[in-house]
Structure 1
Amino acid sequence: MKKDDLNKKQRYALDTMLSGSNVFLTGDAGTGKTTVIQTFIDEAEKAGKNILVSATTGIAADNIGYGATTVHRALNISIKFEDYKKKVKSRAELLKEADVLIIDEISMCRFDLFNMIAKTIITENEERAVDRLLIGEDKEDIQLIVIGDFYQLPPVITTDDRKILCRMYGSDYGKGGKYEHGYAFMSEYWKEMGFEYIKLDEVCRQNDEGFKYVLNDIKYGNNIRKSIAYLENNESDKVIPEAPFLVGTNAEADRINNTFLGKLDKKTEKVFHAAVDGELTSADIKNIAFAREDLILNIGAKVMITVNDLSGNYVNGTIGIIQKIVENGEFEESYLVIKTDKGKTVSLYRYNKDIEKQVIEESEQEKDGRKIVKEKIVRKKVGSFSQFPVKLAWAISIHKSQGQTFEKINIDPCCWDPGQFYVAVSRAKSANGIHFIRPIKQSYIKAFSKDNERLLEQSFEVEEGA
């Protein structure tokens, strides 16, 4: 997207980022946070900046594009919990050359991981300061941009991890403790980053004004009884057959998908093996939205298409039913005939996804009559993965739905995490595009707590833009 296509607040966010400030970009679901970031990357790269793009989850990294990877891989940080508290001894090679580090879905980043990220950046910046003083190096400090909404899903903390957190950091990190959810802004380093706080406030996903107000109340924990009444009075009164189910866990989504798949005629079942080219690791493949090396499909299967069609016949997130499976012998010529939830019949071929990594490229330049080696972060193709870009879609976990939009959805409202119910409901464009499979209880709607709001506000001076 071009800068001129952004709304006023989005342009303010973009300009602040381009000025070099550290930024925390937030906003309600559907306000265009990803759009702003993608526009910033395009503009900053045109200006010759080295951008290191990452996210807290593989799905979020895949959604951004630009060779993005998980923050663990980008910074060479171990995913072993015990390593988070160790002193930083070395820094990722990519970070040494970065002008900007971007981290998407910061709400899913635990405070101890943010500690490690911040210490890594601080250590690198200290070395750059010394180089500027002693050898006249012109590399500025790393700019940090984090994106996300703390009112959506919190970091995942397993029972075992929580025990270790309590042992290492104290009982405040236990169930019911002051820092129970371990958000990144609870890190001792968050305030030190000096973020400019920018909140996008124009929702582009929903046009129904009444639904927008209800979503806002649910997000902030206001008028819950009134919000439940609105949703139940305006929802679809029956299960929506063509729509997916949003459920609380991956295990429940897998159970539902496998149950429905098992009811289809085995005679039409086909197994499609992916074509993998290059030296790809399991982690490279895992980050792909349609990462199935052996994909089992059947006529009658409900699937979600996970790529966009340039001609506009479907988009990432389109739901449909497989009507026909055509095998032409040639790998590339096999295709699926899918009837979408909008009644359109489309042909879907295998999708060849180039796998890119962010790597360092050296080039020689002249400065003051002498040759110097300049290093730049570039995106380099390391392989490709070819498969039908679909995944079973009778059911999807609420966590995996974050960032997506659906015309119609069936929701199991039984939620337990702060922001989980809000994320589920805000995937829809309107209340009448939702069916709840059980009555909504007030206990299912857990908002970001007032105590956490105060902690977040205390973590920086809140300076909203124009």
Structure 2
Amino acid sequence: MEADGCYLSCTAVAEWTNAQGLTTRKVSYRSAQLRLIRNNLRQMLIEIRADKANTTIKLVLKGINVLNRFMSEGKSTIKFAEERCTLFLSNAPAAQLITFLKTIFVKMTGQPEGGKQKSKNPLREQLLSNGKLGGIQDISPATNAELDLAKEKALLVAASRKTVTTPSPSTIRKRKLTDSNTPKVPIAKKLYANPTAVPLTDEQKTVLEAVLRGKNIFFTGSAGTGKSFLLKRIISELPPDATTATASTGVAACHIGGITLHQFSGIGLGTGTIERCCQMASKPACATVWRRTKYLIIDEISMVDGEYFEKIEAVARHVRKNDRPFGGIQLILCGDFFQLPPVNKMSETKKFCFQSKAWEKCVHLNFELQIVHRQKDPKFIKILNSLRIGRITDEITTMLKSTSSQKIEKNGILATRLCSHVNEANDINESQLANLKGTPKTYVANDSDPGMTKTLDQQLPVPGKLTLKVGAQVMLLKNINISNGLVNGARGVVVRFEDETPVIQFRSGEIYHATFEKWSVRTTSGNVIRRKQIPLKLAWAFSIHKSQGLTLDCVEMSLAKVFDAGQAYVALSRAQSLDSLRVLDFSGRQVWANTSVLEFYRNFRRHLHDIEFIPLGKKSQEK
């Protein structure tokens, strides 16, 4: 019902002021339901109803000003000029809020000029709307015609804002469009470029629906099946104040706008006993975060050690004083156990999360995404799916060996070398940069909190200090212009400097004048720290671990030194296609899958059908 954009669940505060700006009335609803309605005069209203109260507020959407700068964080403000009322919205699921604001914008700009249809008998309709017959009706979802009209008007207003002459037809048109009935939304750039509007596949919708039904879930899939994309969408559908997004690594956490699991848990590396971990997590600041969390997201779950998972599950029950699994927190777990395994610096043995006692009692439903989005070549996808489970055939070996001699360089961009060890990649980048002639240019990041620089270095892909020369091979670290191919992972080369700014030519031929971009990291206390830096990194070489989650358009590798199950698969699956890949000295011995993981996925797939059709309660009883 909420999906049509006419409903919103959030925290709402309505504040009325007098002509002098002094507050005359204030109403706060910690948990409110908003819906768009229309009366018999065809006026559109927002109805605000508290979850635990019978009181209702109705505000006419006329002469409003919508502030949507922070809507991606679940916050927005709507000012009703005529009623001298300001409505503050917060803790709204971002996707729901964006759709709600977009519906207001579309419905109001998509109306005939004048904002409402003329009535044959306005007095009669006024009486009906105020009488016992009510006359209130829900707003219908936005139609394609309304969407097209709203977009057309948005473009006209955007064009009119560019003029510097007065008066002119465009500015006159602008006044008409921003009359008392049209929302003064900063024109729909954010609303129409809304990332949550990208349609989900049927399999992705199934996972999202399970989350919204309150189930603890684990979803997996091979590399490139859109796991991170779906995870971001899930986060946008949940209330921000009660949702904690985490990941096993800093880079993965940054990718979904979260923090590391170690930061959130408050138990460090978890080397102490369960009793000691519970003591550490019971400190006021940490305990507050644990208690307010209703939804816990863990990305890259494959790299979380099983013993650590058991400890934080026990900590959750202890700190929240709740004996239900994970203290009653809803879990959303994501990852691929065929990729990089757990890192446990205190022990040589690796224990996967699914091998822990906590896993079986905490995870209700399992899902596997099947559709690959990163690679488009069915032949390459088939190869990668075989490599994922450690299956090597003579045909696969022949095909991968044949890439060793192919030329994948283009427009001066060399192939990025993927290395099995971080130090090896760093050494290659530093030596190649030193070999270039010319004057180096160094760019130092601007951090909002200099005391948190070390944390930012650990969690962000962008370096605190970046040194470049003409000819330096670089990788773009942020989506700048998707339609032009300027995306995270795109490969380029520095061709010159203009006014101290590096100019990059990418493999596609696109030229980019690099400017400082912003990254944000949320701390456990909820504060946000930011870094501004040129969105580039040296890219002669990358470690396989650091490449996880990236899509590379020009990559080569030697897999002779791989030391973990899944490492070769992760490296090979970074490539977009066989044509953009060069594998040196390939051998079937470099590819293998962990036997415990293979067994887990066999059982996992065997039960997928049962999980889909047998109600959870019934299945639990049969056990």
State whether residues 197 and 463 of structure 1, in contact with CA within 8 Å, keep that contact through their aligned partners in structure 2: yes
Letter in 2 for 1:60: A
TM-score w.r.t. the length of structure 1 is: 0.80
User: What is the RMSD computed on CA atoms of the aligned residues?
Assistant: 2.5
Q: Please give the alpha-carbon distance, in whole angstroms, between the structure 2 residues aligned to 1:412 and 1:214.
A: 18
Which residue does 2:9 correspond to in 1? Answer: none
Aligned to 1:420: 567
| Number of the residue aligned with 2:504 | 338
Q: CA deviation at 1:122?
A: 2.8
Provide the rounded CA distance (Å) in 1 between the counterparts of 2:522 and 2:461: 15
Distance in 1, matches of 2:311 and 2:605, equals 20
Q: Rate the CA distance shift 1:457–1:144 in 2: closer, same or farther, 3 A.
A: farther
Q: What amino acid is the match of 2:515?
A: Y
Assess, with a 3 A threshold, how the Cα gap between structure 1 residues 31 and 455 changes in structure 2: closer, same or farther.
closer
Paired AA for residue 487 in structure 2 = V
Whole-Å separation in 2 of the counterparts to 1:85 and 1:411: 45
Corresponding residue number in structure 1 for 2:541: 395
Letter of the structure 1 residue corresponding to residue 330 of structure 2? Q
**Helix, strand or coil for the counterpart of 2:607?**
coil
Contact 1:52 1:95 survives alignment (8 Å): no
Secondary structure, counterpart of 1:295 in structure 2:
strand
Relative distance call for 1:436 and 1:455 in structure 2 (3 A) is closer
Unpaired segments of 5 or more residues in structure 2?
A: 1-194, 614-623
1:264 aligns with 2:456: no
Deviation at 1:4, TM superposition (A): 7.0
Shift of 1:300: 1.1
Q: Distance in 2 between matches of 1:409 and 1:103?
A: 29
Q: Does the aligned pair in 2 maintain the 1:236–1:432 contact within 8 Å?
A: no
Bigger Cα Rg: 2
Q: Within the alignment, does 1:121 sit opposite 2:266 as a pair?
A: no
Structure 1 stretches lacking a partner, 5+ long = 130-139, 164-172, 174-180, 328-333, 360-378
TM alignment of 1:61-210, pairs within 5 A: 61-65=253-257, 68-79=258-269, 81-82=271-272, 86=276, 88-89=278-279, 90-91=281-282, 92=286, 93-124=288-319, 126-127=321-322, 141-158=328-345, 161-162=346-347, 173=349, 181-210=350-379
Displacement of 1:191: 1.1
The one-letter amino acid of 1:255's match is D
In structure 1, the partner of 2:251 is 59
Please give the TM-score of this superposition, normalised by the length of structure 2: 0.61
Q: What's the CA shift string for 1:236-269, capped at 9, x where partnerless?
A: 534745221111110110111111111011x411
Contact 2:290 2:320 in 1 (8 A): no
Give 1:352 shift: 3.0
Matched, 1:16 2:201: no
Partners of 1:357 and 1:324 lie apart in 2 by: 38
Which among 551, 576, 592 is matched to residue 429 of structure 1?
576
Match of 1:27, as an amino acid?
Answer: G
Of structures 1 and 2, the one with the larger relative CO (CA 8 A, separation 6+) is 1
Percentage identity across paired residues of the two chains: 28
> Which residue of structure 2 aligns with residue 218 of structure 1?
387
1:195 offset after TM fit, Å?
3.2
Corresponding residue for residue 518 of structure 2: 352
CA gap of 1:83–1:347, structure 2 versus 1, over 3 A, is: farther
Separation of aligned partners in 1, 2:508 and 2:375: 18
Q: 1:73 deviation in Å?
A: 0.5
Q: Is the 8 A contact 2:491 2:554 kept in 1?
A: no
Paired positions, count: 404
8 Å Cα contact 1:101/1:144 also seen in 2: yes
Going from structure 1 to structure 2, the CA distance change for 1:162 and 1:75 (only over 3 Å counts) comes to closer
Q: Which residue of 2 aligns with 1:365?
A: none
Q: In 2, Cα distance between the equivalents of 1:9 and 1:257?
A: 41
Q: CA deviation at 1:94?
A: 1.1
* Structure 2 match to 1:243: 415
